[in-house]
Amino acid sequence: MTSTLTGKTALVTGSSRGIGRATALGLAREGALVAVHYGRDKQAAQETVGLIEKDGGRAFTIGAELGTPGAIDQLLDQLETGLREHTGATVLDILVNNAAATTPGNAPEDVSAEQIDQIFAVNAKAPFLLVQRALGLIPDGGRIINISSAVTRMAMPPQVVYAMSKGALDQLTLHLARHLAPRHITVNSVLPGATDNGSAAFQMPEVREPMSQLSAFKRLGEPEEVADVVVFLATDRARWITGASLDATGGSLLG
Ligand code: NAP
């Protein structure tokens, strides 16, 4: 696949690291101009842009901490400014809702109401509001890709709130796919399994080993392996896929 996205623009939320960074790199490699969004780590987002530019691609950073007051307005303002500067217009072809908050993994009995509000604010409400606000920029034939999780399909009681929020995100996929079909905008979810995002937890053998065993291939996924699925959905080759949930777990849900 070479330059399948030349002339396209993309926003990847939470692309300062992990799967989001790999997705931003993947989309840029295919020719898209990428808005690299971060929450708190501007330097990491700038590193993502640096990697894209080193690769011959084009990108710019935008910062907004989702789940805080005014974040969606801030994000949209910076997005429109960046797009205008780089393209002379404010068209957004591809929106990837990737940023997410995770829980420390509490027993359901110990979850607080505040934790539920915070997780839902970032993982479900922010993507909804972002899509709602960005729709005016997305042309017919555009793409919306929501990064969900395999935990919506397997029981992990300590992750129940996170899983509930990703379940809500999958509902956004389903209903918007129908709503936006007349405009040929496709809306899909990608479900990663345990993916080595470089965090300290995944380097600990007591975490890494059991998580590796989940996949049929008996290892963790790499961010690029999820990003490749997202990039595919963003291309014209995936034009007949909408309202779908694509498994990117290395066979973690085979039973
Ligand atoms: P990650 O390495 O933890 O990175 C999270 C990204 O989201 C960062 O760029 C972070 O930006 C941003 N972010 C987090 N909270 C934010 C907020 N409130 N406002 C704005 N940005 C925020 O994530 P990942 O592991 O690559 O996961 C990416 C996606 O895949 C997420 O949707 C996650 O739920 C999903 N997923 C991951 C796995 C896995 O095993 N890694 C498995 C299943 C699903 P800053 O650091 O700049 O704040």
Residue 221 lies in a domain: yes
CA of 152 to the centre of ligand 1 (A): 16
Quick check: is 149 catalytic? Answer: yes
Q: What is the pTM of this model?
A: 0.98
| Distance separating alpha carbons of residues 255 and 215, to the nearest angstrom | 10
Cβ atoms of residues 187 and 173 within 8 Å = yes
Instruction: Compute the half-sphere exposure of residue 131: CA atoms within 13 Å on the CB side of its CA.
Output: 25
Predicted confidence at residue 128, as pLDDT, reads 98
Annotated catalytic residue: which of 165, 166, 189, 252? 166
Residue 170 structure tokens = 């999958």
Residue 163 structure tokens = 């899983």
Residue 13 lies in a domain: yes
Residue 227 lies in a domain: yes
Residue 255 lies in a domain: no
Annotated catalytic residue: which of 15, 16, 162, 189? 162
Query: What pairing do the DSSP bridges indicate for beta strands 58-63 and 186-192?
Result: unpaired
Predicted confidence at residue 127, as pLDDT, reads 98
Residue 1 lies in a domain: no
Residue 4 lies in a domain: no
Q: 10-residue block means of pLDDT along the chain (255 residues)?
A: 86 98 98 98 98 98 98 98 98 98 91 96 98 98 98 96 98 98 98 96 95 97 98 98 98 91
CA of 98 to the centre of ligand 1 (A): 6
Predicted confidence at residue 219, as pLDDT, reads 98
Predicted confidence at residue 3, as pLDDT, reads 81
Residues with Cβ within 8 Å of residue 232, at least 6 apart in sequence: 238
Q: Which of 131, 94, 97, 107 is nearest to 235 (CA)?
A: 94
Domain carrying residue 77: 9-248
Task: Indicate the helix (H) or strand (E) that contains 225.
Answer: helix 223-234
Of ligand 1's listed atoms, the one at least distance from the Cα of 221 is: 40
CATH of the domain at 35: 3.40.50.720
Residue 156 lies in a domain: yes
Predicted confidence at residue 255, as pLDDT, reads 82
CA of 29 to the centre of ligand 1 (A): 21
Q: Give the pocket of ligand 1 (CB within 6 Å).
A: 14-20, 38-41, 44, 65-67, 98-101, 122, 147, 149, 192, 194-195, 197
Looking at the structure of the chain, the number of domains it has is: 1
Cβ atoms of residues 216 and 254 within 8 Å = yes
